[in-house]
Amino acid sequence: MRDFSIITDSCSDLPEELANRYDIHLVSMHILMDGDEIPMPEISEFYQQLRQGHVASTAAVSLGEFEDAMREILQSGKDVLYLSFSSALSTTYQSACIAAEDVLADFPEGRVEVVDTLAANMQQGLLAVDCAIMRENGKSLTEVLDWVQQEKLHRSAWFTVDELDYLKRGGRISPATAAVGTMLNIKPLMHVDHEGELISVSKVRGRKSALTAMVNEMEKNVTALEQQSIWACHGDCQKDAEALAELVKSRFGLQEVHIGRVGPVIGSHTGPSILALFFAGKER
């Protein structure tokens, strides 16, 4: 049985410590600030630039970058499992599929499997970690692939933001909705659906109510609490993430909820106030 390497992309926002611990390779999306590509910035510095009025945008991993990453692994005698950012939100998945076909022409004995996670942030990152743990436990690429294709639609992600201008700029809401929402202190409750789209599910008044609504959604759907890692992730609003984590711990009697970050790729489209809750459930 051939060994295999796991790749995911920077949209997973997988902390470096976890990527290193589980030997997960990362390929990076590209960040543009005011139209010019910049090196991947430190997260807090990136959000500070947004607050100063700079405009960020993103570009997908290129075909060549995928080919280089896959080729290096295949040359080492290993196969490849790539867990992609949602195809509904980026062309990343399509580029990876083309790259896989191209490199396999030179490595006919190899195998490259590309999985559309239909996910983002730690919804995607935790799938990569769980696949790596299965690999450590001796599971084959086929076994891990079968599992992740079934499991990915049981990973739930709920989001809210405090500032609506970024969603307006990205076309997620209309200028009129943003103006009225800001005036009335309306906060959207958003969800990544089974098609991998980020959709608005409901609206609540006030940030505190938005946090409660996220935990309410978790209560409806969560399974096997003691056997999973729960994550509260934020752009640049640490105290809100801590409040969300405490709310989850109080509601479910948990000892630990992890705090993570929403990085520049997703944050470019949501702004600094993005707050997210990730868990495994009966369904998304």
Mean pLDDT (the chain, rounded): 94
Quote the pTM value. Answer: 0.94
Q: What is the DSSP letter of 79?
A: E
Closest CA to 53 of 279, 272, 236, 275: 272
Q: What is the pLDDT of residue 35?
A: 95
Whether 163 and 271 have beta carbons less than 8 Å apart is answered as: yes
How is residue 192 written in tokens?
């990544």
E-state strands within 166-222: 186-192, 198-205
Q: What is the pLDDT of residue 178?
A: 62
- At 42-61, the pLDDT tens digits run 999 999 999 999 999 999 99
Q: What is the mean pLDDT of residues 228-238?
A: 97
Q: What angle do CA 236, 238, 242 make, to 5 degrees?
A: 150
CA distance 8 to 80: 11
DSSP per-residue string spanning 244-263: HHHHHHHHHT-S--EEEE--
- At 59-118, the pLDDT tens digits run 999 999 999 999 999 999 999 999 999 999 999 999 999 999 999 999 999 999 999 999
Pairing of strands 231-234, 275-280: antiparallel
E-state strands within the chain: 4-9, 24-27, 30-33, 36-38, 56-59, 79-84, 112-116, 155-160, 186-192, 198-205, 231-234, 258-261, 275-280
End-to-end CA distance of the chain: 33
